[in-house]
Amino acid sequence: MRSLSSSAFGSMAKLSSFAVLLVLLLSCSCFSSTEAYDALDPTGNITIKWDVMSWTPDGYVAVVTIYNFQQYRHIQAPGWTLGWTWAKKEVIWSMMGGQTTEQGDCSRFKGNIPHCCKKDPTVVDLLPGTPYNQQIANCCKGGVINSWVQDPSNAASAFQVSVGNAGTTNKTVRLPKNFTLKAPGPGYTCGPAKIVRPSKFVTADKRRVTQALMTWNVTCTYSQFLAQKTPTCCVSLSSFYNETIVNCPTCTCGCQNNVTEPGSCVNPESPYLASAVSGPGKLSNTPLVQCTSHMCPIRVHWHVKLNYKEYWRVKVTITNFNYRMNYTQWNLVVQHPNFDNLTKIFSFYYKSLTPYAGLSKLYLAKFSCKVATSTFYKLLLMFLREYGFWFCRRYCHVVGNQVLQRFSYASWPSRECAI
């Protein structure tokens, strides 16, 4: 087993300083931009496709499908919320597979009352168990959509909408505008609707192909800076050759004595723990974390376990301090220059990610489980050949219901983290 020389420590210190400086420069440059962008998934997006399936006397019937084309970010409970603004005085006569959150003022109508008369409707998915006569394909999942790379069979959600007071031909239809998407929180920026080639559909017997009368797409991209102003997870570091642990910095995600958010944490030995967990914030999924020095809902610990001549081993522990959230579909994304020589990962499904040329290889570790308690630990053991630098080069990400954290060698308390 090798021991580190003083020169090696000097190199580590320089690399650490460079990493911190690099993160600062990236943060300064990113805060000035309002465009949504994910550096580790630059081509990932959520595409909203509107397919006009038929014309009606005063409008059209369309199937709206939401595709999650992101590599590692799921849309989890309480699910997606989609909004837009009508171009004119359109109304929604009826819906299947989804519903608007408000009906709006429909007092000008007599007889048949529309499902929604709002100028800016907001649509949510229906829940599992919805009667079959109100369902369509890919609906009724409570707004939950998995990522296309990890689970393509569950990477789409759809609803049907019957629109009135609208155009009845390809030339008279006016596209909706000002699209907004929450999945489930903020962070997504949606572009304008663009007319594309009509979608084609293959029948069940695969002997006939039909197509939509008209199709337009809306593309939404994600930015961590838009999603959260403060971190919601942190990283601690340790190694076999030193008993010292580099803990998450104090008040990384908040402070216990925060006067603006009293009661935001609870001691695990408190007799009022059960009542606090089931309190008013339960329905809104407001985080209720264990009282710690860092006050983060999620902590990732990176421990260099062994260093042999041919390889070294790392153990990663992920801890959930949020009493109100069980992250049943979580991911860990790690960047390291030695991942080209990765030998084996235990206890996890994993996949190599290479967003663009010149970036050190990323690995996505995935583990899906039902968590019975509010705190859980999972181990990730990685063997890497050659010597290399042990700690993550620039980024480590935890994604579970949109949890994300970037950190450097010095466990820099990044702002790029959201729940």
Give the pLDDT confidence of 260-293 residue by residue, as tens digits: 565 578 888 887 777 777 766 666 667 788 899 9
Burial 44-80 (b: 16+ CB within 10 A, else e): bbbebbbbbbebeeebbbbbbbbbbbbbbbbbbebbb
What pLDDT does 221 receive? 93
What pLDDT does 259 receive? 52
Q: Which is it for the CA torsion 277, 279, 283, 285, positive or negative?
A: negative
Closest Cα to residue 101, out of 155, 182, 165?
A: 182
3-56: pLDDT as tens digits: 434 444 444 443 343 333 333 333 333 333 345 667 778 889 999 999 999 999
* 46-225 and 228-400 agree in CATH topology: yes
Domain ranges of the chain: 46-225, 228-400
Residue 321 has pLDDT above 70, yes or no: yes
Interior angle at CA 391, CA 386 and CA 394, nearest 5: 115
CATH architecture of 228-400: Sandwich (2.60)
Q: Which helix (H) or strand (E) is 204 found in, with range?
A: none
Fold of 46-225: Immunoglobulin-like (2.60.40)
